[in-house]
Structure formats: C-alpha cells, structure tokens
C-alpha cells in the first residue's frame, strides 16, 4: 500500500507498507530466538492431516456426523494458518525527498508493526502526524534512519 501525504511544511511524503515474510531479527529477540524454522510447522500439519484422514476412514458407515462437527474441525485446522496470516510483521516506511529550497532535508523513517489491522492504524497515525507537524510521530513505530 502506498500513500502520498503532504506535510504541514509542504513536503511530499510517501507512506508505504510491505509484508515481511520472515520475522526481522532484533537485538531483543536474539537470545530467545531458538525456533526450528518451518520444519515443526510442517510436521504438525502432517500430523493433523493424518489425524483427520484416520478419523474419516475408521468411521463406521452408520454414524451420522452433524454439520457443526465438520465446521469445528475446519476451524481447528484453519486456526493456526489464519493466525499466522493475521499476525505477520509489516515494514512501514515514510520517506520524503525534501523540499526544493533545501531548508528541509530528505528523510527516511522505518518501523515494524505486527498485525494486518495494526499496520492500518499505524499508517493512519503517521499520516495524521505528518499532516499536522510535518514528521511521523516519535512515539509510534516509525524511527528515523540515516
């Protein structure tokens, strides 16, 4: 998503977001980051699929399965992939070329926001801050980069 925003000082800012497919490594996460990658998730997916197949194959023919049981099984199977999609980190970038007079230099602000709905709120917050004070909010996720 790209947005053009005009700051209070007349500079044109570009706000853009990008989905991060891998969680960015930070100093805070380094000591605790011992995830095994995608292998545990793939193993759990295979185990869940085997469980569902065995449940269906071994079911006697005279058993009537209510629709709500099938819906509950579908929700259980889709919970973690849906959670993964909704909680992915997004990179938010706000940048400007500066102004023609050279009074205001070019700036580049970058931040990471976790969650699809949180990123929309952060972009709206940065847009409002740029329109009012010509800079993204220092208390937000965006931080200046040199």
Q: 105 and 119: one domain?
A: yes
- C-alpha torsion angle, residues 20, 139, 2, 115 (rounded to 10): 40
Amino acid 39: pLDDT: 79
Q: How far apart are CA 115 and CA 120, in angstroms?
A: 9
pLDDT at 128 over 90: yes
92-122 exposure pattern, b = at least 16 Cβ within 10 A, e = fewer? bbbebeeeeeeebeebebebbbeeeeebeeb
Q: What is the pLDDT of residues 12-65, one digit of tens each?
A: 999 999 988 776 665 555 555 555 667 777 888 899 889 888 888 888 888 888
pTM of the model: 0.68
Does residue 26 lie within any of the structural domains? no
Q: Is the dihedral of CA 23, 97, 121, 75 positive or negative?
A: negative
| Residue from 12, 25, 7, 6 nearest 112 by CA | 25
Kindly state whether residue 109 falls inside one of the protein's structural domains: yes
**Tell me, what's the pLDDT at 143?**
92
Task: Examine the domain organization and report whether 74 and 95 are in the same domain.
Answer: no
pLDDT attached to residue 85:
81
User: 44, 67, 86: which is the final residue of a domain?
Assistant: 86
Are both 59 and 72 inside the same structural domain? yes
With 60 as the cut, is the pLDDT of residue 134 above it? Answer: yes
Write phi, then psi, for 76 (nearest 5 degrees): -65, -40
Same-domain status, 94 and 81: no
Segments forming the whole domain that contains residue 13: 2-21+88-144
Residue for token pair 């990123």: 119
Q: Are residues 77 and 107 in the same domain?
A: no
pLDDT at residue 129, as a whole number: 93
């Amino acid at each position: 998503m790209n947005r053009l925003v005009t700051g209070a000082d007349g500079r044109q800012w570009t706000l853009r977001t990008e989905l991060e497919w891998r969680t960015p490594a930070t100093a805070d996460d380094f000591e605790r980051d011992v995830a095994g990658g995608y292998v545990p998730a793939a193993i759990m997916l295979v185990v869940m699929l085997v469980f569902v197949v065995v449940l269906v194959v071994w079911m006697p023919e005279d058993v009537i399965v209510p629709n709500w049981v099938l819906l509950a099984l579908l929700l259980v199977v889709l919970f973690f992939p849906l959670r993964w999609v909704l909680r992915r980190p997004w990179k938010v970038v706000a940048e400007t070329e500066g102004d023609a007079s050279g009074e205001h230099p070019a700036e580049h602000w970058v931040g990471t926001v976790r969650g699809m709905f949180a990123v929309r709120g952060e972009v709206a917050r940065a847009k409002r801050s740029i329109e009012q004070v010509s800079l993204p909010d220092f208390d937000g996720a965006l931080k200046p980069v040199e």
